[in-house]
């Protein structure tokens, strides 16, 4: 079985590197430097989608948005035209479940299968083999892709039919995004009233307010001023926006989701969509008149 990987950015590159520990890969990215990095680790570089498609039985994708996925799959010279009939495509993008379902139907008419399998846990989780993988697929498709996904992590969950993996990723990022911003706000409140942020975080993580973000990120990243977590404000806003849209489409009120989306938009307006997502803490500091994020920060923050 020949395996391809398209999209070698921060997350896709980490996932492809994890696969390379046990699998041979053919890789492609519009960024030549990303392809060279994986080739130096043992992957085979493809010259383009028209080169990769016919060579592979399974192709994994990890791209910024479902629009990018659509272009790679269904655009001119895309994988729908170049992949062999029977090819399994596994989309690890944080995507739009509605778009995923539509693309799956279009690909099925060409004899190509699409499974959604986004992840949660960041590049560090991918490297460690602990990342969570949420799969949207029929039972037979899930059984077919599970052995390959186990090469990335044992933490694999069959969320449901096509699109369910992307739905759960939006739910995950909605909750984690809201927790992130609420954690900023709470620590700013403590700091404004004379409590050292480190002390506040230690107290909160020992009690009922603890959450994964506060436990793992607040001190080593935010309080230390190391804001480069490898995920941008633009991508965070995209995921929360899609979650809110899904709520609107399916009749679920999104009170906290909409607040989260608007604060991320405020941060984008101030710092740009390409800035790291934890720069939202700078907005909370500005509004609160606090300095939870130190004024002197490492030069690698962005």
Distance of CA 227 to the CA centre of its chain: 17
What residues are paired with 160 via a beta bridge? 136
CB atoms within 10 A of CB 267: 24
Tokens of 29: 């990215």
| 238 flagged as catalytic | no
Distance of CA 9 to the CA centre of its chain: 11
Widest pairwise Cα distance in the chain: 65
Contacts of residue 243, defined as CB under 8 A and 6 or more positions apart, other chains included, come to 170, 171, 173, 174, 254, 257
CA distance 224 to 1: 46
The catalytically annotated residue of 84, 169, 192, 238 is 169
Distance of CA 140 to the CA centre of its chain: 25
CA distance 157 to 159: 6
CB atoms within 10 A of CB 1: 10
Query: Radius of gyration of the chain from Cα atoms?
Result: 20
What residues are paired with 45 via a beta bridge? 27
Which residues are part of the catalytic machinery? 169
């Amino acid at each position: 079985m020949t395996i391809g990987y398209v999209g070698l950015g921060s997350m896709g590159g980490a996932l492809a590197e994890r696969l390379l520990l046990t699998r041979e890969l053919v890789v492609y990215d519009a960024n030549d430097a990303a392809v060279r990095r994986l080739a130096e680790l043992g992957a085979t570089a493809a010259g383009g989608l028209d080169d990769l498609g016919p060579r592979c039985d399974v192709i994994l994708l990890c791209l910024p948005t479902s629009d990018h996925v659509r272009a790679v799959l269904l655009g001119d010279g895309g994988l729908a035209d170049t992949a062999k009939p029977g090819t399994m495509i596994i989309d690890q993008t944080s995507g739009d479940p509605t778009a995923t379902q539509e693309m799956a139907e279009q690909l099925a008419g060409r004899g190509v299968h699409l499974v959604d399998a986004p992840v949660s846990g960041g590049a560090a989780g991918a490297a460690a083999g602990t990342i969570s993988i949420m799969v949207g697929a029929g039972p037979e498709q899930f059984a077919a892709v599970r052995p390959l996904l186990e090469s990335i992590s044992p933490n694999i969950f069959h969320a449901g039919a096509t699109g369910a993996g992307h739905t759960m990723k939006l739910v995950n990022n909605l909750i984690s995004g809201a927790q992130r911003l609420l954690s900023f706000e709470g620590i700013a409140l403590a700091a404004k009233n004379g409590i050292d942020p480190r002390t506040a975080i230690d107290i909160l993580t020992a009690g009922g307010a603890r959450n994964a973000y506060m436990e793992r990120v607040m001190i080593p990243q935010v309080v230390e001023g190391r804001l480069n977590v490898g995920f941008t404000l633009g991508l965070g806003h995209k995921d929360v926006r899609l979650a809110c849209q899904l709520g609107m489409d399916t009749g679920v009120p999104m009170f906290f989701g909409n607040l989260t989306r608007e604060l991320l938009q405020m941060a984008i307006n101030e710092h740009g969509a390409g800035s790291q997502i934890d720069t939202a803490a700078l907005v909370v500091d500005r509004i609160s008149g606090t300095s939870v994020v130190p004024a002197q920060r490492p030069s690698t923050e962005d």
